[in-house]
């Protein structure tokens, strides 16, 4: 299945397992390999030395190692195989992820009927303890339904619905990784099975207005999104959308004020506010925005301080509104405003 893995593990007891086998059987792109072998650390270092990339421990507790390639989304995970391959597969989450192929080639091992479930498009738990063993699988079950167009069998869904209170227990990074891969239909399914409410989400906003994972997260979780370990970029994006207010009208002044607090995500903010009819006005303002300011802060003749920023912002707004158009007019406005401040 992968000549590189076969080269470094030739003659050893090693197996390709998990999602890589599933995606291969579904004729989907295989980006991440999961290799069960006797000495994951040694295998990872051999792979990185021979083919490039960085080897690092993925789980100190479980002894798994990962090799990540620079400039590529591909990863290769090497996980321990302390017993036989069937023992390993018995610990997997869903039957179609519990199929193994020998690294050197040969017949697949499928003790739980994963191939049949792939054919039937079913998400079926390997054991009744699947969600208690690792609660992130609650989200993964729904995400796999969503990505693959499959459906949980009745027993697996019953197990999931009985375990919804566990869904907030995994590390925030793992929860977020699953949520980011959900489509609108996936979120509706999360809501249907009772997982979304436990996580603090709700579908009462326009979460389908943009096909963007960050937009869906903000729309569905609102201020509760900050409880997850989101990036600084997503934190800023969330803050802007949640603080956005609909423009008072479509005048150039109102659109300028709206853009001043929402750019570079003014169009996303309109979608969040269910005000997409104003999209044209925002796009026109973007096209007409001058490339250079009328004046710069060091031209105002004022001592350094926050007042310079306030005056420059006023000049930008009046220019957008059409009340001033030249550098001289901007300086007159600046002097009058500076005089007002000085007389207080």
Residues 166 and 236 in one domain: yes
Residues 100 and 129 in one domain: no
Q: Are residues 257 and 229 in the same domain?
A: no
**Is residue 284 domain-shared with residue 304, that is, in the same domain?**
no
Kind and range of the H or E run holding 78: strand 75-80
> According to the model, what pLDDT value does residue 30 have?
87
Q: Are 5 and 30 in contact (CB under 8 A)?
A: no
In this structure, are 149 and 196 located in the same domain? yes
Mark whether 186 and 269 lie in a shared domain: no
Question: Do 127 and 160 share a structural domain?
Answer: yes
Q: Which of 114, 134, 161 is the last residue of a domain?
A: 114
What range does the domain containing 250 cover?
244-288
Considering the domain architecture, whether residues 160 and 74 belong to the same structural domain is answered as no
Instruction: Give SS3 for 100.
Output: strand
Q: Report CA dihedral (150, 153, 159, 162) to the nearest 10 degrees.
A: 80
Q: Is the pTM of this model over 0.75?
A: yes
Could you tell me if 201 and 220 are in contact, meaning their C-beta atoms sit under 8 angstroms apart? yes
Query: 8 and 46, same structural domain?
Result: yes
Residue 56 pLDDT:
94
Quote the number of domains for the chain: 4
DSSP 8-class letter at 109 = B
**What does the pLDDT read at residue 1?**
64
* Low-confidence residues in the chain, pLDDT < 70: 1, 60, 339-344
Specify the CATH number for the domain of residue 216: 1.10.3090.10
Identify whether the C-beta of residue 216 lies closer than 8 Å to the C-beta of residue 187: yes
pLDDT of residue 339: 61
- Residue 80 host element (H or E): strand 75-80
Cα–Cα dist 131/143, whole Å: 14
**Residues in CB range of 4: below 8 A, 6 or more apart:** 47, 50, 51
Output the CA–CA distances (angstroms, integers) from residue 332 to 130, 169, 252, 316, in the order listed.
72, 61, 22, 14
Q: Are residues 21 and 62 in the same domain?
A: yes
DSSP 108: P
Last residue within a domain, chosen from 254, 270, 288: 288
Shared domain for 223 and 301, answered yes or no, is no
81 and 143, same domain (yes or no): no
Distance of alpha carbon 23 from alpha carbon 266, whole angstroms: 39
Q: Which pLDDT value is given to residue 342?
A: 47
């Amino acid at each position: 299945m992968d000549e590189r893995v076969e080269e470094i593990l030739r003659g050893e007891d090693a197996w390709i397992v998990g999602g890589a086998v599933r995606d291969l059987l579904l004729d989907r792109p295989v980006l991440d390999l999961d290799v069960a072998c006797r000495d994951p650390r040694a295998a990872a270092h051999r792979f990185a030395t021979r083919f490039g990339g960085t080897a690092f421990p993925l789980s100190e507790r479980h002894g798994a190692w990962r090799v990540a390639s620079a400039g590529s989304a591909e990863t290769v995970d090497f996980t321990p195989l302390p017993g036989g391959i069937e023992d390993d597969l018995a610990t997997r989450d869903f039957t179609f992820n519990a199929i193994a192929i020998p690294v050197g080639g040969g017949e697949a091992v499928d003790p739980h009927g994963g191939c049949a479930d792939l054919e039937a498009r079913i998400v079926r738990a390997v054991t009744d303890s699947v969600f208690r063993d690792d609660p992130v699988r609650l989200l993964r079950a729904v995400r796999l339904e969503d990505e693959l167009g499959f459906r949980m069998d009745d027993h697996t869904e019953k197990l999931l619905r009985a375990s919804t209170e566990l869904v907030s227990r995994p590390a925030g990074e793992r929860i977020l990784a699953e949520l980011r891969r959900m489509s609108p239909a996936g979120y509706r399914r999360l809501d249907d099975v009772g997982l979304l409410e436990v996580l603090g989400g709700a579908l009462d906003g326009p979460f389908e207005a943009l096909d963007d994972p960050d937009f869906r997260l903000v729309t569905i979780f609102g201020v509760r999104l900050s409880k997850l370990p989101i990036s600084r970029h997503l934190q800023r994006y969330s803050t802007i959308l949640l603080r956005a207010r609909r423009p008072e009208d479509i005048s150039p002044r109102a659109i300028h004020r709206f853009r001043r607090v929402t750019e570079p995500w003014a169009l996303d903010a309109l979608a969040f506010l269910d005000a997409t009819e104003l999209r044209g006005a925002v796009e026109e303002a973007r096209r007409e925005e001058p490339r250079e300011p009328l004046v710069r802060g060091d031209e105002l003749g004022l001592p350094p301080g926050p007042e310079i920023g306030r005056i420059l912002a006023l000049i930008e707004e009046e220019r957008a509104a059409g009340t001033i158009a030249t550098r001289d007019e901007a300086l007159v406005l600046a002097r009058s405003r500076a005089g007002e401040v000085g007389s207080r």
